[in-house]
Structure 1
């Protein structure tokens, strides 16, 4: 009898769980995601898992040559677009080799110019590939009909490329960004007022405190970004819009017209600046408490004793540095009392010390949260910087390209990091001295732990905030009440140039009228005087 009762009880609980899960699935939304590859996909995947756990159905658009986005996972389904060319290792590796060669040369105007030209070429080709992918989608009537039939609630995309932006317009769906970068540069620059007197441009190497010379330099970088967007990037997307939507649809308007901007920074990391009501800050949303390390890794970490452990990773794009540089780095590590865990896939350095462990992959977040970790040597990617802040681990930065120097600069300005360049890392024991400087000066750890406390001291976790606002857009079919209308204004209206011209014209007219009256009075008076004489 007791056994029968338990069986009935278990059956009832199973039925209840099934009903609950079915209810969640039926009441969940349908979300179409157009992500970017590499490290951008790593943090988008975290958001997808969170959305799936809330009962939402997620479809992910990828190419048939996808680098990171794989099929067969339970938390999303893939929609594959066939392309002839894609953003992957074959595309990235030649660019990296050129950057290494340029940046390790003598620092000069020509080095800077060469690097900028290389970046221009890389950005042009990235967006060319993206536009080709978008055209493949729009030309595939069967694919577009299937997407429309799915009746999605919104499109979530990374606007560092524009395929998702145009797809949302084609499907007439609300648009949400998982954003730090857009096609034309840093996200804030497109949506919020951005005075160049205290908001540094990406690549300028400046903080929010600038001298006259630095403000002039910042203005030059602004023009460089504008030229890149105006001549190399925006015309490619506009050509797609012209072909499929008509010339009256401007890509810039589509880009700026998103309902919600989920910004992957916060103001613990970012310099204070103007913002907008539809910008939601979720910096560090991918960070979480550390889990226990694998047994072999934990044993290696514990063997470090009182000296602790240094970890080094150059991110998803870079598998290995030039051989002579890796040997110099290995030599420096070998001279330290700390143990070192180094993510490195290339040839084993000849000077590798017994204290250094090379790994193909490391549980970065879990290592950073381990109490024995003393220092993080990194390239300056947004994900790694946010994890270092979350866990309060000081940084030695070795930036390579794009936003990495600017990310590290924000830590340096707050006294939590030192930065090396590729040109100096293997000269005069610079790498070793820099690491020792951060390890031996307690202020670096204290400052980073202060940033960690500030970052964690929030009423709601960043990921929970992001989920709420995504669901908010789904519930209300958009967030038009939060969007500014400024992006619809021509530049002369946005800056009130037409008003100033009108006022100047009115003042000039009044001044001319007064002068003419004075002249008439003077002439009349002169004539009257001559008659009296």
Structure 2
């Protein structure tokens, strides 16, 4: 697990490349546990002189908390209750998916409404003309984004800015297509099948069918996101169009835990930090009592 300081140092070096001064960074985050990790990195950039502006929806779980950097909010068409209700559909569907196996039940059930709600954030952002004008006039050096809701990719393309993706991974096949990294289904298992890199012939067939299924299904699943991006950019776009211009991929995985395959120079495995940084253990006092002859009666850790 790489420490947050190492992540921020890596990001600073990448963003500062070619500049003789601190950079101006636009951050388009994702709510929930995604933000726990990204926030640690963003906060490390402030003491290094970087100017950071974070754009968030007014309805969220974690993004509305007080922060020590500039935050710009935009209104959305749903309430906190709507967000919670749709997320509960996701939880219920995920439990069912774990029991039945596979990922399609999650994505084709009513839980899909949660993703539609997330995708709609981007339309709300660009409807805020005052915010869009502010972002346009701010002359940012790069966009630091979580690609889960796709909006950060649309923002980067709209403002023609270099983009830095910060993610555990990308759903569907868009990571391989966006980075142009070879990932032949004959050798590299698809994540949803939980196969190893020593597949039997039958497993390779299933892996190929899964790969073909992703190509058939994923454009439909992301249709709302690409429709919104097409409206904003005023030209038809696909998910591959949005992922291809990414400048740097910071993947929160360890290369040693990935399947053997080549990666491009702009793909950097930075280690897995996927939750809020833990607090140090409370100080404890070790007590030990012993019987005659050295036999221990018991040991106890007592916090104080």
Q: Give the TM-score of the pair, scaled to structure 1.
A: 0.46
Question: How far 1:218 moved relative to its partner?
Answer: 1.0
CA, structure 1 residues 137+286, in 2 after alignment: closer, same or farther (shift >3 Å)? closer
| Matched positions, count | 269
- What is the rounded CA distance, in whole Å, between the counterparts of 2:178 and 2:109 in structure 1? 22
**Structure 2 residue 33 is the aligned partner of structure 1 residue 39:** yes
Gaps of 5+ in 2: 1-19, 290-299
Partner in structure 1 of residue 199 of structure 2:
210
User: 1:156 aligns to what SS in structure 2?
Assistant: strand
Deviation readout 1:250-306 (Å, 9 max, x if unpaired): 44212121111111112222222121111122113679x9874124xx46xx6899x
Q: 2:51 aligns with which of 46, 57, 73?
A: 57
* Aligned-CA RMSD value: 3.2
Question: How far 1:219 moved relative to its partner?
Answer: 1.3
Task: Report if the CA contact (8 A) 2:145-2:166 is conserved.
Answer: yes
- What is the rounded CA distance, in whole Å, between the counterparts of 2:101 and 2:186 in structure 1? 23
Task: Map 1:128-207; keep pairs closer than 5 Å.
Answer: 128-182=116-170, 184=172, 187-188=175-176, 190-191=178-179, 192-207=181-196
- What is the rounded CA distance, in whole Å, between the counterparts of 2:288 and 2:206 in structure 1? 46
Task: Report if the CA contact (8 A) 1:161-1:182 is conserved.
Answer: no
Deviation readout 1:76-125 (Å, 9 max, x if unpaired): 22211211337954332232234335645xxxxxx347x62233346743
CA, structure 1 residues 214+31, in 2 after alignment: closer, same or farther (shift >3 Å)? same
Deviation readout 1:130-184 (Å, 9 max, x if unpaired): 3321111112211100111221111010112210110111222111111233353
Q: Give the TM-score of the pair, scaled to structure 2.
A: 0.77
Gaps of 5+ in 1: 1-25, 105-110, 306-338, 340-533
Task: Report if the CA contact (8 A) 2:175-2:243 is conserved.
Answer: no
Partner in structure 2 of residue 94 of structure 1:
89
- What is the rounded CA distance, in whole Å, between the counterparts of 1:28 and 1:282 in structure 2? 22
Task: Report if the CA contact (8 A) 2:156-2:162 is conserved.
Answer: yes
Task: Report if the CA contact (8 A) 2:174-2:243 is conserved.
Answer: no
Partner in structure 2 of residue 274 of structure 1:
262
Asked which structure has the greater RCO (Cα within 8 Å, sep 6+), the reply is 2
Normalized per residue, the structure richer in helix is 1
CA, structure 1 residues 98+277, in 2 after alignment: closer, same or farther (shift >3 Å)? closer
* Rg (Cα) greater in structure: 1
Partner in structure 2 of residue 227 of structure 1:
216
Task: Report if the CA contact (8 A) 1:127-1:236 is conserved.
Answer: no
Farther-moved stretch of structure 1 (76-85 vs 272-281) = 76-85
CA, structure 1 residues 93+273, in 2 after alignment: closer, same or farther (shift >3 Å)? same
